[in-house]
Amino acid sequence: MLDDQTDLMSFSLGILAVAQGGTDLGFIWDKATPEAKVIIVILGAFSIVAWSLMIQKFFQMRRATRYNGFFEAEFRQQEGVLGIYDRRLPVEGCPLFSVYTDGCTDLDARLKLPDGSRRTRLSLKSVEHVKRQVEGAVAREALRLESGLILLAIAVSGGPFLGLLGTVWGVMDTFGGIARAGRADLTAMAPGVSAALVTTVAGLLVAIPSMFGYNYLVHTLRVLTVELDNFAQTLASKMETEFLPDDE
């Protein structure tokens, strides 16, 4: 019983000593090992990159979604496939418009005659070439929208492990120092252990926002990719209806 009371008193005195010594981040940073400081700096850089990328991709995909809606509504009102293309409208940030422009550019090149006029019919082979051009444009736009998401995936999976590495390393150094000093009490252990645990917290602070942002962006990307595929099929179908002879 006396030993328990002594241990409890030692524990309380240790907590008090740590509290008097300071428990803010500056104190913990001072107690952190050089390795832990390097890991925290790396995680800080990861956090900046992750947040910048999430904000950039969020606005990019939101703009793409809005522009896609405007373009699709306008496209459905056109009687001919080349109606919007002939107006030469400059549109940036609209994936559907990029797919449409690539397809119509190839289609227009195949329809043009030497005198500058357009033929009204194409062969099945020419239409198939245009369709492949549209499919390639869909793939390029999907890759453009997806670019950068791998960095978020790295932050989600790598952040906690970097933090854990810093914690294990810091705890190892702390126990090594205690062993060399030959003194094992809370006053000696708490600063080093708390400084070591900060790296885990830093890793989680990087990984958790990145995880939510990554999941949201991946879902939005899937929706946009489905829209691109559906539009490509609609565009190809209209091209076939308008320019492919009935007997083919």
Task: Specify if 154 maps to a domain.
Answer: yes
Q: What is the pLDDT of residues 45-82, one digit of tens each?
A: 989 999 999 999 999 999 999 999 999 999 988 888 98
Residue 112, classed as helix, strand or coil, is strand
Task: Specify if 6 maps to a domain.
Answer: no
Task: Specify if 99 maps to a domain.
Answer: yes
Q: DSSP readout, 20-53?
A: HH--SHHHHHHHS-HHHHHHHHHHHHHHHHHHHH
Q: Which residue has the tokens 């005198």?
A: 115
Share of the chain above pLDDT 90, in %: 41
Task: Specify if 151 maps to a domain.
Answer: yes
Token pair of 94 as six digits: 């609209």
pLDDT for residue 231: 94
Q: Average pLDDT in the 180-209 region?
A: 76
Question: Which of 14-18, 27-31, 133-137 has the highest mean predicted lDDT (pLDDT)?
Answer: 133-137
Q: Which domain holds residue 150?
A: 29-240
Q: Supply the mean pLDDT for the chain.
A: 82
Listed in sequence order, the residues at least 6 apart from 116 whose beta carbon sits closer than 8 Å to its beta carbon are: none
Q: What is the pLDDT of residues 79-126, one digit of tens each?
A: 889 889 888 888 888 999 999 999 999 998 888 888 777 877 888 888
Task: Specify if 156 maps to a domain.
Answer: yes
Number of domains in the chain: 1
**Sorting pLDDT into bands at 50, 70 and 90, what band is 10?**
very low
* Residue 104 identity (one-letter amino acid): C
Task: Specify if 1 maps to a domain.
Answer: no
Q: DSSP readout, the chain?
A: -HHHHHHHHHHHHHHHHHHHH--SHHHHHHHS-HHHHHHHHHHHHHHHHHHHHHHHHHHHHHHHHHHHHHHHHHHHT-SSTTHHHHTT----S-HHHHHHHHHHHHHHHHHB-TTS-B-S---HHHHHHHHHHHHHHHHHHHHHHHTTHHHHHHHHHHHHHHHHHHHHHHHHHHHHHHHHHT--SHHHHHHHHHHHHHHHHHHHHHHHHHHHHHHHHHHHHHHHHHHHHHHHHHHHHHHHHHHS-TT-
pLDDT at position 8 over 50: no
Task: Specify if 59 maps to a domain.
Answer: yes
**Sorting pLDDT into bands at 50, 70 and 90, what band is 182?**
low
pLDDT for residue 98: 94
Task: Specify if 137 maps to a domain.
Answer: yes
pTM over 0.85: no
pLDDT for residue 183: 63
pLDDT at position 190 over 90: no
